[in-house]
């Protein structure tokens, strides 16, 4: 363990993963009591600032994304959702009347509400119209069932085949659930959105290592730049502690800690 940190110079997360594997081996497999390793050298925990795109860079990336993945990328930037929160979005959680999106079971098993950008109301409505056709075809073929969390399918037996519980962004084909053996149409594979984003970033000639999660960071930073209250941004992002949201104040467009360089005043 110490060699990983001293000579291997691995990240703290890599060392922790190796330590967890070692403890699991002794406790669960070998069933040998292993004392806590207090004398090992621990890798230093790094603190990195998030990658944030400028509005012009966001526009350049989004202009190179179309179709379903373009819509998903615009939702990530326009709502601040995490990648899997967007991928797992259900039809019933989109409220066009209130221009809101209810994000269920987010990080920390918490629900929260974020805005539905007015600019996406039309494209999302059109997408759901096409999605409804797929749903009705599946319903006719007896394959409209979707997976529900926390044994909700037992509490609400009809819910798995109802329109409201369908994934907004569904897979292009059916698949067999390895746990239950049922044939279902799952949500879209998140890797496909990640690949589409990577192609768009490359096509836009950006040097920043932007990913779909970068759009969430950009969402928060641009809201703070426009004068939004940090507590409001905290609620939109679903952070438990405002100190987590405070990290975005370090990447505002006025340099370090949001101040203006004296050179710019000359």
Which of 5-9, 49-53, 136-140 has the highest average model confidence (pLDDT)?
136-140
* 131 and 96 both lie in a single domain: yes
**Edge-to-edge order in the sheet of strand 100-103:** 94-95, 100-103, 112-115
On whether both 183 and 100 belong to a single domain, the answer is yes
The per-residue pLDDT for range 176-219, each reduced to its tens digit, is 888 778 888 899 999 999 999 999 999 999 999 999 999 999 99
pLDDT(121) > 90:
yes
Domain membership of residue 233 (yes or no) is no
The last residue of one of the domains, among 183, 209, 235, is 209
Looking at the fold, whether 115 and 9 belong to one and the same domain comes out as: no
Q: Supply the pTM of this predicted model.
A: 0.80
Question: How many Cα atoms occupy the beta-carbon half-sphere of 87 within 13 Å?
Answer: 15
Instruction: Clarify whether residues 64 and 141 are in a common domain.
Output: yes
Residue among 82, 88, 185, 222 flagged as catalytic: 82
Band (43; pLDDT cuts 50, 70, 90): low
Catalytic residue among 42, 92, 104, 213: 213
Higher pLDDT, residue 264 or 66: 66
CATH number at residue 139: 1.10.443
Question: Containing domain of residue 100, as a range?
Answer: 59-209
- Residue 247 placed within a domain: no
Would 133 be classed as within a structural domain? yes
User: Active site residue: 107, 198, 199, 208, which one?
Assistant: 107
- Say how many domains are in the chain: 2
Q: Is residue 131 part of a domain?
A: yes
């Amino acid at each position: 363990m110490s060699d990983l940190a001293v000579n291997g110079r691995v990240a703290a997360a890599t060392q922790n993963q190796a330590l967890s594997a070692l403890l699991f081996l002794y406790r669960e497999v070998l069933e040998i009591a292993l004392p806590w390793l207090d004398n090992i050298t621990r890798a230093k925990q790094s603190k990195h600032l998030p990658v944030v795109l400028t509005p012009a860079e966001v526009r350049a990336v989004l202009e190179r994304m179309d179709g379903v993945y373009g819509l998903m990328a615009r939702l990530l930037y326009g709502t601040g959702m995490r990648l899997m929160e967007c991928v797992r979005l259900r039809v019933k959680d989109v409220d066009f009347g209130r221009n809101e999106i209810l994000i269920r079971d987010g990080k920390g098993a918490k629900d929260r509400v974020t805005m539905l950008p007015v600019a996406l109301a039309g494209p999302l409505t059109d997408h759901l119209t096409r999605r409804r056709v797929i749903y009705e075809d599946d319903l006719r073929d007896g394959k409209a069932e979707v997976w529900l969390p926390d044994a909700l399918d037992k509490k609400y037996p009809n819910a798995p085949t109802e329109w409201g519980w369908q994934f907004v962004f569904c897979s292009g084909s059916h698949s067999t659930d390895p746990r239950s053996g049922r044939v279902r149409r799952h949500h879209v594979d998140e890797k496909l959105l990640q690949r589409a984003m990577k192609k768009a970033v490359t096509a836009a000639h950006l040097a920043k290592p932007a990913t779909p999660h970068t759009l969430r960071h950009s969402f928060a930073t641009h809201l703070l730049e426009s004068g939004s209250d940090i507590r409001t941004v905290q609620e939109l992002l679903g952070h438990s502690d405002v100190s987590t949201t405070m990290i975005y104040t370090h990447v505002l467009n006025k340099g370090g800690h949001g101040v203006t360089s004296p050179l710019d005043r000359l």
